[in-house]
Structure 1
């Protein structure tokens, strides 16, 4: 890792915090498969991993894939909210990319649409 790129755990926390602030987002969920997420819950309880790093970052062969699983509120159009989250992640990744020519893929999955109003 070069000095110009922050570590992935810190980046994940920053991305998670930013996604939570998007209008229409009611929550952010772990992007990992359920068994892996369950293991992370154990790791969090043992203070091995912070619960605020929910956006997944996968780097392989010069390509970065970022995945966010979110809940939206029914008062905001879910596709527009997902698009806003994706655009935010891409902007943030572009600002943090150590190699501007590296490939970046952003995946946003809506796991729940809540009837409740968004958190203030």
Structure 2
């Protein structure tokens, strides 16, 4: 077993995969660039929907927005949890996303962080 989710061994296991496993460096690069390409495809799909006026179909568009948030949340959790830490960038993304919600943004930020956040 090459990968370990143990926080004290996380970096070492990735370094081991890249250096000692056959084509491990390729696997790592394909995984990182494939994830980026996946999100580029999603953004192109959203842009196509905006160009053709698909936002007029409110129920369908809202389901798509919920799916986008779920995909982003899944990718974020997949990034944060294996390393066992919350990055400053991740905390900023969560705070900005929640605070942008009209009327309830402030309450959401205070609920998730346990107090006021700048």
Choose between structure 1 and 2: higher strand proportion. Answer: 1
Bigger relative contact order, structure 1 or 2, given CA contacts below 8 A and separation 6+?
A: 1
Q: Which has the larger radius of gyration?
A: 2
TM-score, length-scaled by structure 1:
0.30
